[in-house]
Amino acid sequence: MPETQAQAVLALRGVTKRFPVGDGEIEALARIDLAIGRGEFVCLIGASGCGKSTLLRIVAGFEEPTTGEVAVRGRKIAGPASDRGMVFQDYALFPWMTVRQNIGFGPRQRGLSRREVDAIADEFARLVGLERFADRYPSQLSGGMKQRVAIARVLANDADILLMDEPFGALDALTREQLQRELLQIWMRTHVTILFVTHSVEEAVLLADRVLVMSAGPGRIENSIAIGLARPRDVASPEFNAVRRDVARRLTSHLIPARDREPSLAG
Amino acid sequence: MTEQATALPTAAREAEAEAPARTRRRRHLLETLRAIALGLGFPILLVLLWHWAVAYTGTRLIPSPRQVAVMMYDFAFGGVYDDAFSATILTHIWKSMQRVYGGFFLAALSGIPLGLMIGRIKLMRELLDPTINLLRPIPVTAWLPLSMIFFGLGPNAAIFLVFLGAFYPILLNTVFGVRSVDVRLFEAAAMLGCTGSAMFRQVVLPASLPAIFNGLRIAHGFAWILIVVGEMTGVPTGLGSVIMDGRTLSRTDLVVTGMIVIGVCGFVTDRIIVTLSNRLLAWSPQHHA
């Protein structure tokens, strides 16, 4: 469901990022312009070191762009806020809090009563299928369950933009597939907008409405590929494979050294 | 949900686990008894060696375990020597505890908040870190003359010395705790709307709690060690002053009695801290002491 720039819930205008290194600087991101529509599921794919995580951290507000700006619903962001919830690869759950307290952390910051906070936390624990584990600590959960808590934690805080940084990267294949399915269900039910960073072509094609292919040195978005496949998608179907091959081809074409690349691709 | 099926014992499996639960409890009890027997066995062996060594050498400078036991009985209940030390144990323990815990709680009350701020706020770190590392190597005993000038001859000088000794381990462990918290936790809290002092209370403090408790435990040990130094400042009561009196009167049975009482007090109170930390840190599987 791509929308026009005007309706974009998330817009990046001329975002660049340079990090100081020693005496010099590293250009991590060349100019990035990007608009993501309400409810859109966008996957950001690229080799490691291409700046996709940096881009996500800038959108989250953890880092400031060197130039340019990020706007949510037309308003420039200033640091992290509850409208954008990040799901980290290593979960970043509060280890001293139970599942219920972790999920209720955001609502608690808004000054709701304990009863309201618990009600919200239980509702979102149910959404991710963890209602029976509400009183456990993170150290007593499997990786997949931890990541469910992390997703519930940002949803419970009314985040309508989910930023996911290789969230299933540390999970085994079975758990990953299951969480991908569940994430799609949650996405369809809640209409959140998702910006999802991955380095798996298959994951990107399975999940996204649109795949953004990034290349490194400095990081930029080379291609924006709309995925027209009907949902639910079958990873074994010939159509799926055709799209996957197409995305993989565009991804690897950027892995050749910059000096050998045709100038026409750089646009 | 394959994952949950494996993680959750089904009703059948729970019923199956009912019978071994009793064996498990019994094994746990045996394990505890064994630990107690081993833990007590070694000091008993030491006392036997002590007894044998005193008897063998025929020294009069070191009291035998038996003499110390008699002294201990008189110190606790009286009726043997009936002197100034008979049946005064509780008074001395009480006075010493006031000083130990006066200094210890002052150190915790100032060291923990200061440590949280130094760990989290760069300006505080740059402002205070060099000074702290300059003052830290100065032995507590070196402060003795000055503390007696500051606070006079009395309990306040003792409290000050205990405070000094307990302050640095608490402060440094708190700073270390804050510095080693995963930065992502602060980011996660910020994105969930947690800022300012709420961040300190809800994230920085609990995340550093394992390290803080390590600091408290070390500092608590120091506090009991320093009580003897603290009570050299000329206070009439307290376990440290009992030892100093014993030294002046050449009553080594009294000295050893005071040493043992301090050891036992430190041991018991340390167990309380460990129990408390195990309860507060139940979430942290690495921290069971």
Strand residues in A6-116 grouped as ranges (E): 10-21, 24-36, 41-45, 67-72, 75-76, 84-87
Determine the average pLDDT of the residues in B122-135.
Answer: 95
Kindly list the residues from chain A whose CB atom is less than 8 angstroms away from the CB atom of residue B3: 142, 144-145, 174-175, 178
Predicted pLDDT of residue B199: 92
Residues in chain B with CB shorter than 8 Å from the CB of A139 are 283-285
To the nearest whole percent, how much of chain B has pLDDT over 90?
A: 73
Q: Which residue of B has its CA nearest to A93?
A: B185
Give B192's DSSP letter: T
Contact A105 B190 (CB under 8 A): no
CA-wise closest residue to B89 among B228, B220, B265: B265
Query: How would residue B228 be classed by pLDDT, with cut points 50, 70 and 90?
Result: confident
Which residue is closest to A105 within chain B, CA to CA? Answer: B192
How far is B275 from B289, CA to CA, in rounded Å? 9
pLDDT at B230: 85
Residue A84 in this model has a pLDDT that exceeds 50: yes
Hey, what domains does chain A have and what are their CATH numbers?
Answer: 1-83+167-255 (3.40.50.300), 90-159 (no CATH)
Contact in structure between B194 and A101 (CB atoms under 8 Å): no
Among chain B residues, the shortest Cα distance to A163 is held by B191
Q: Which of A174, A122, A177 is nearest to A152 (CA)?
A: A122
Supply the Cα-derived Rg of chain B in whole angstroms: 25
Q: What gap in Å lies between CA A245 and CA A202, rounded to an integer?
A: 9
Q: For A98-133, write each residue's pLDDT tens digit.
A: 999 999 999 999 999 999 999 999 999 999 999 999
Are A99 and A149 spatial neighbours (Cβ–Cβ below 8 Å)? yes
The verdict on a CB contact (< 8 Å) between A82 and B2 is no
Chain A: closest CA distance from residue B211 (Å): 14
pLDDT, position A133: 95
Q: Is the pLDDT of residue A266 over 90?
A: no
CB A196 within 8 A of CB A208: yes
Q: Which helix (H) or strand (E) holds A245?
A: helix A238-252
Is A145 at the interface with chain B, CB within 8 A?
A: yes
Alpha-helical runs (H) found in B63-195: 65-77, 89-120, 122-135, 144-151, 155-179, 183-191
Claim: this prediction has a pTM higher than 0.90: no
Average pLDDT across chain B, whole number = 89
Give the sheet arrangement for strand A75-76, strand by strand.
Answer: A24-36, A10-21, A67-72, A75-76
Q: Which three-class secondary structure state does DSSP give residue A15?
A: strand
Asked whether the beta carbons of residue A86 and residue B188 sit closer than 8 angstroms, the reply is yes
Chain B residues within 8 A of A61 when measuring between CB atoms: 190-191
Provide mean pLDDT across the span B157-180.
94
> Are A178 and B190 an interchain contact pair (Cβ–Cβ within 8 Å)?
no
Mean pLDDT confidence for B44-57:
95
Partner-chain residue, chosen from B187, B192, B282, that has the shortest CB–CB distance to A109? B192
Q: How many contacts, defined by CB atoms under 8 Å, are there between A and B?
A: 88
Mean pLDDT of the B19-38 span = 87
- The answer to whether A80 contacts B7, with C-beta atoms less than 8 Å apart, is no
List CB contacts of A60: < 8 A, sequence separation 6 or more. Answer: A80, A84, A86, A163, B187, B191
Q: Has residue A258 got a pLDDT over 70?
A: no
Q: Is this complex's ipTM strictly greater than 0.95?
A: no
Q: How far is B214 from chain A (nearest CA, A)?
A: 17
Helices B89-120 & B252-280 angle (0-180, nearest 10)? 40
- Most B CBs within 10 Å, among A90, A96, A130, A135, to test the B interface: A96
A193-245 residue pLDDT tens: 999 999 899 999 999 999 999 988 788 898 899 999 998 899 999 999 999 99
Is B187 close to A153, i.e. CB distance below 8 A? no
pLDDT of residue A2: 46
Give start and end residues of each alpha helix (H) in A114-237.
Answer: 114-127, 143-156, 173-190, 201-207
Chain B residues touching residue A79 (CB < 8 angstroms): 190
